[in-house]
Amino acid sequence: MTHLVKIGNSHGIRIPKPLIEQAQLEGKDLQLQVVEGGLLITPKKGTREGWKEAIENTLRTHGKETLDQEWLNARLSTDDDLTW
């Protein structure tokens, strides 16, 4: 259990070390989100963090996507003959 403590013009909480370790929050920037009836504290993810692993996992699970040769080999056209 913890309590709000006054820190200057703001308030803060002291999170017990075992909870920080269990949630793997040590040394991480935190993101706060108001949820129904409380406050959710999560580690802030970096830009594209975990994308590489997610893509590799998807490729392992489903294999590589086949390319649509019909569209790739389609002739490029212009709209010169259209009336605007």
Q: How many domains does the chain have?
A: 1
The pLDDT of residue 36: 94
Say if residues 14 and 1 touch (Cβ distance below 8 Å). Answer: no
pTM of structure: 0.49
CATH number at residue 1: 2.10.260.10
Collapsed DSSP state (helix, strand, coil) of residue 59: helix
Is the residue at 82 inside a domain?
A: no
Over residues 3-62, the pLDDT tens digits come to 899 999 999 999 999 999 999 999 999 999 999 999 999 998 888 888 999 999 999 998
> Counting Cβ atoms within 10 Å, is residue 43 exposed (0-12), middle (13-18) or buried (19+)?
middle
Say if residues 24 and 42 touch (Cβ distance below 8 Å). Answer: no
Name the residue range of residue 60's domain. Answer: 1-65
Is the residue at 8 inside a domain?
A: yes
Is the residue at 4 inside a domain?
A: yes
The pLDDT of residue 83: 76
- DSSP letters, 10-24, are EEEEPPPHHHHHHTT
